[in-house]
Amino acid sequence: MADITDIKAILYTEKSLTLQEDNVIVIQTTPKMTKSGLKEVLREYFGFVPLSINSLNQRGKVKRFRGIQGKRDDYKKFYVKLPEDAKIESLEV
């Protein structure tokens, strides 16, 4: 079952800020999160059902630090279309 702790962040990039003008937010989650799980979390914690959800699996980059190779964590991004009357407190700038 999905939980609010599976949501890592709401992304604020140049692309995501232009999408927010069309009531679309970008949410970064753990790779195990599903569309139906995210819909359930949004309904339970924020009180609205999204109009549509698109997902994207993002693989972690391979990086080097002082000659030692490492890898960033994998994550999943969701593009969530919000209803007109929906508000999320953390989004208000």
Model-level pTM?
0.84
Q: Where are the domains of the chain?
A: 4-85
Q: For the chain, give the mean pLDDT.
A: 89
Give the model confidence (pLDDT) of 19-78 as tens digits. Answer: 988 889 999 999 999 999 999 998 888 888 999 999 999 999 999 999 999 999 999 999
Provide the pLDDT for residue 89.
Answer: 65
Question: What is the 3-class SS of the chain, one letter each residue?
Answer: CCCHHHEEEECCCHHHHHHHCCCEEEEEECCCCCHHHHHHHHHHHHCCCCCEEEEEEECCCEEEECCEEEECCCEEEEEEECCCCCCCHHHCC
Pick the CATH number of 4-85 from 3.30.1490.20, 3.30.200.20, 3.40.50.300, 3.30.70.330: 3.30.70.330
